[in-house]
């Protein structure tokens, strides 16, 4: 595990909702613009230190009893979905009455067991610019996208695509059409790790999203301190 913290969800349809984040280590991709490279980039980080083995009880103790939503992120959390510790973590949160959300890159399909436990999946496929560190066949898995599209059609998933400019918004719209994703399920979001970049990119991304029939989100956690 990399970290546990309580903040607000800064992106997508649940923006502004108070929640705890459980960030797990390791990933199947190597996106050059990833803002959590401490979870997977062994060339830059000692992963034994940044993502140490952690007891489930320790993770649970870091989630306040007052929290009603927990977002499991990464890295790629679906790498761990078959592990007993991951199952115990989710079962323990569900026993508390917590709604579990999972953020994923859409490279691994969820198991039937996992879909029964997770209230909502935020699915973030990596397109040309954001996923430039990996070939398309590693980033884009049609069968996995189809599985998440089925969940999106039942209101249990959305697709969140990070973009830098209007051309990439158009790419996101074309991607949705290519894989049969209803544009109403798709959110575009500016790539930014600081307020100045976010404010500079947001207007153009927002207008392009409107023109292409996509939803638009900002990054609330980048504006000031939300954690």
Q: What is the pLDDT of residues 23-56, one digit of tens each?
A: 999 999 999 889 899 999 999 999 999 999 999 9
Report the pLDDT value the prediction gives residue 218, as an integer from 0 to 100: 94
Report the pLDDT value the prediction gives residue 225, as an integer from 0 to 100: 56
Extract the residue ranges of the chain whose pLDDT is less than 70: 224-227
| Cα R_g (the chain), whole angstroms | 17
Would you tell me how many other CB atoms lie within 10 Å of the CB of residue 81? 21
* Degrees to nearest 5, angle at CA 102 with 202 and 125: 55
Report the pLDDT value the prediction gives residue 47, as an integer from 0 to 100: 97
**Architecture in CATH of 3-168:** Alpha-Beta Barrel (3.20)
| Residue showing tokens 């709604």 | 99
């Amino acid at each position: 595990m990399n970290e546990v913290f309580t903040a607000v969800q800064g992106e997508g349809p649940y923006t502004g909702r108070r929640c705890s984040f459980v960030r797990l280590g390791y990933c199947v991709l190597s996106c050059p613009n990833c803002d959590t490279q401490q979870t997977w980039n062994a060339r830059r980080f000692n992963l034994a230190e940044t993502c140490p083995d952690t007891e489930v009880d320790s993770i649970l103790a870091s989630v306040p009893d007052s929290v009603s939503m927990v977002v499991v992120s990464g890295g790629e959390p679906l790498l761990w979905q078959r592990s007993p510790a991951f199952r115990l973590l989710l079962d323990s949160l569900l026993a508390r009455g917590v709604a579990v959300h999972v953020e994923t890159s859409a490279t691994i399909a969820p198991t039937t067991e996992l879909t029964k436990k997770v209230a909502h999946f935020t699915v973030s496929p990596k397109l040309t610019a954001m996923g430039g560190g990996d070939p398309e066949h590693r980033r884009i898995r049609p069968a996995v996208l189809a599985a998440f599209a089925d969940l999106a059609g039942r209101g249990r998933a959305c697709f969140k695509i990070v973009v830098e400019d209007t051309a990439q918004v158009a790419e996101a719209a074309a991607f949705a059409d290519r894989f049969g994703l209803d544009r109403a399920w798709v959110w575009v979001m500016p790539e930014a790790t600081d307020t100045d970049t976010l404010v500079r990119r947001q207007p153009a991304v927002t207008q392009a999203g409107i023109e292409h029939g996509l939803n638009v989100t900002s990054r609330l956690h980048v504006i000031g301190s939300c954690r």
